[in-house]
Amino acid sequence: MQTTPKVVAIHDLSGFGRCSLTVAIPVLSAMGVQCCPLPTAWLSTHTGGFTGYTFLDMTDEMSGAADHWQSLGLQFEAVYSGFMGSEAQMAIVERMIGQFRAPGGVAVVDPVMGDHGARYATYTDGMCRAMARLCEKADVITPNLTEASFLLDRPYADMPGDPEGFLALARELSGGGARSVVLTGACSGPEDIGAACFDRETGKTELILTGRVPGEYHGTGDVFASVLTGALVRGRSLEQATRQAVDFVAVCAERSRVEGIPQREGVDFEPLLGLLTGR
Ligand code: PXL
């Protein structure tokens, strides 16, 4: 029998508006992966499309939790991080990669910082600089185009819009092949959407696309990175994992469109979790 792989998921816990841990836990569980959550902050809702949300920074708890886990000798097949609550948390995640990534395991950093050219409300310049440093310690990063522009300290307006440009950008973000990159939001035109990958194992780049669903939903990046992480720890190649993530986000977006789900509530993924089981 294959043992159940374990992933430490370091993201916020937002009570309403599917994203972060409320996505990562069910997605990884459905994929047959044990998700061990380490919340970076507790919010009443996520910060996109809501006002007046509460925000409890969990920085002080994180180091203590890491110390406890170390005393237990825990190791994880993946250390997977997303939305951060403070600048200091990036250094804690870096330490956790060193402490907890099992031999042959993977550190997936989703450098959650913003979208559509703008930073998320709670992010500062210092946090974005610290996130760029954390990405250097990752095995796989999953930026969108906005986050790519922050990581490279380049205007969003200068980000590419064509397949060759997306592929070149994915390669550039790898830091000379030091890490694999899955750049989300890449496309070949208005009809499709997906990701541009650079795989450091093969040195190859590839565009992985699907039909574009009209509309926009919050938290799709978190669904994407969670499926990708689950697939990687289940032994899939970067290309296979990206294909599974691209396809799953597309069916979730399509269902949400058909059901008329408000954008800020995130994608209606729960009834679709069965698509992830046993694959
Ligand atoms: O999906 C990214 C994300 C995660 N967590 C929180 C957010 C956002 C984006 O707005 O606000 C709390």
pLDDT tens-digit map of 86-95? 999 999 999 9
Ligand 1 centre to CA of 144 (Å) is 13
C-beta 17 within 6 A of ligand 1: no
Ligand 1 centre to CA of 208 (Å) is 24
What residues form DSSP beta bridges with 192? 211
Amino acid at 156: Y
Residue whose CA lies nearest to ligand 1 atom number 1 = 219
pLDDT of residue 18: 98
Ligand 1 centre to CA of 243 (Å) is 23
C-beta 19 within 6 A of ligand 1: yes
C-beta 14 within 6 A of ligand 1: yes
C-beta 122 within 6 A of ligand 1: no
pLDDT of residue 278: 74
Ligand 1 centre to CA of 44 (Å) is 12
| Token pair of 73 as six digits | 């000798």
Burial class, 236, CB count within 10 angstroms (exposed 0-12 / middle 13-18 / buried 19+): middle
Intervals of the chain under pLDDT 50 = none
Ligand 1 atom at minimal distance to the Cα of residue 47: 11
Ligand 1 atom at minimal distance to the Cα of residue 120: 10
Ligand 1 atom at minimal distance to the Cα of residue 122: 11
The residue ranges of DSSP E strands in 67-135, in sequence order, are 76-81, 101-109, 114-115, 118-119
Ligand 1 centre to CA of 121 (Å) is 9
Helix then strand count (H, E) for the chain reads 8, 11
- Domains parsed from the chain with CATH numbers: 6-272 (3.40.1190.20)
C-beta 47 within 6 A of ligand 1: yes
Cα dihedral 220→124→49→221 (10° resolution): 0
Residues 6+ apart with CB under 8 A from 67: none
**Cα separation of 108 and 231, whole Å?**
12
Residue whose CA lies nearest to ligand 1 atom number 12 = 46
pLDDT of residue 1: 62
Residues 6+ apart with CB under 8 A from 249: 220, 223, 224, 227, 267
**Cα separation of 89 and 57, whole Å?**
10
Q: What is the pTM of this model?
A: 0.98
